[in-house]
Amino acid sequence: MSDALTLYRERARQWLATFAPQYCGQARHGLSFEQDLRLAREWQALKVEHGYGCITLPTAYGGGGGTELEKVVFSEEEMRYDLPLNYFSISLNNPLPIFLRYANEEWKNRLAPATVRGELLWCQLFSEPSAGSDLASLRLKAEAVEGGWRLNGQKVWTSWAQIADWGVVVARSDSSLPKHAGLTYFFVDMKSAGITVQPIRRLGDEKDLNEVFFDDVFIPDDQRLGEINGGFRVAVETLMIERYAVTDESGYGPTLERFIELAANTRINGLPALADGEVRQRIAEVFVERQGLRAIHRRALEAFALGQAPGPEGAIRKLLLGRTRQRLGAAAMDLLGAQGLALDPQTHAVNDFAKAWLDPSLRIAGGTDELLLNTLAERVLGLPQDHRPDKGLPFSALKR
């Protein structure tokens, strides 16, 4: 870390210590969904006012105009607080940057500043019932019509679609081409006629996931991002935009330190749980994983500092974060016994062991464990690709 970046971290830490307590922890207890969302919008607007909202985006559209390293540093410090960040986790990290990369200037001036301030929310309409990890298997149909496109079909697992104002969507525009080649990428007004959003209820009663149905939804051609039938490349760019934000499990689940504190105050057969061999082994395993993740993170920071992008080894980080969160949650629930089954309505998966164990989303969203293992096998270890019998075939010729 340079002296300038160290100073930036200290200023960010002081700013957060001054303002964050008004928007986190006890300030969120007892709030309804609508009230918590309103608090989230206020927090985002405050960050923008002080230069901490969308740090890497251009100042012309309301961003901070800062560096990727500054974004990483601020995110590390912000994650220490129980702030309402989840509503913007998709909106600001994926759709907005790709929108700014491809949309025309009129659209950017119209939508970007309000999105940066949190006044507009976006969703990402990628997954479908028959296309999860294999993004190129999408079946939502985009038919060219006068002035634009008509979309028919379904998306699923769409985070925050029920509150989104806009969304980015990938659709099948030419089924005569191989599956990766016949997709086109658009942005769509989520209040358009023909769009229906159906919430999906989750075990932990989180309110984020939805199904979205398209019934003759018209999208003007000036809401296309990228070339016709070039949508797969834009989709991959979208998924690559969100980079390293934190060094370890902080911000994704209860920390190792919290687990150690729990073990120190829990007894097994009359002795502190910390004296138990299996508990100590679990702590050691998670500690070793965390040190490895921090080493990968340091390499990523060095790449950022040199103006480079980190490599595919970042898949290791996401793979371990999701698995460790559930494994540590299960161990904590074992220590708590029957008490560990209680779900506190004021807590979240990032700060509650039971909810962290119950919520597998980190192992699904942004690439399943299986997909990440393939990435590591092929792009890090150099192993041969899986056999792909549909490679090069027209999408219309594939079995459904």
Look up the CATH superfamily of 122-240: Butyryl-CoA Dehydrogenase, subunit A, domain 2 (2.40.110.10)
How far apart are the C-alpha atoms of 387 and 394, rounded to whole Å? 17
Asked whether the CA dihedral 42, 48, 51, 57 is positive or negative, the reply is: positive
Q: What's CA 257's distance to the chain center, in Å? A: 24
**257-285: buried (b, 16+ CB within 10 Å) or exposed (e) per residue?**
ebbbebbeebeeeeeebbebeebeebbee
pTM (two decimals): 0.87
Listed in sequence order, the residues at least 6 apart from 374 whose beta carbon sits closer than 8 Å to its beta carbon are 386
* Per-domain residue ranges of the chain: 3-88, 122-240, 243-380
Report the chain's C-alpha Rg in angstroms.
Answer: 22
Look up the CATH superfamily of 243-380: Butyryl-CoA Dehydrogenase, subunit A, domain 3 (1.20.140.10)
Strands of the chain, DSSP E:
122-125, 141-145, 148-155, 166-172, 183-189, 195-199, 210-220, 267-268, 271-272
> In whole angstroms, how far apart are CA 324 and each of 81, 274, 349?
20, 19, 13
Q: What's CA 155's distance to the chain center, in Å? A: 17
337-345 long-range contacts, CB within 8 A, separation 24+: 343/204
Given a cut of 70, the residues of the chain with pLDDT beneath it are 1, 241-251, 309-310
Q: Tokens 């950022």 label which residue?
A: 304
List, in sequence order, the alpha helices (H) in 206-365.
231-241, 256-264, 277-305, 314-336, 353-358
The CA-based angle 95-96-102, given to 5 degrees, is 90
Give the residue from 87, 12, 79 showing the smallest Cα distance to 42: 87
Which two structure tokens, joined as six digits, stand for 95? 């759709």
Summarize pLDDT for 126-169 with one digit per residue, the tens: 999 988 778 889 999 999 999 999 999 999 999 999 999 999 99
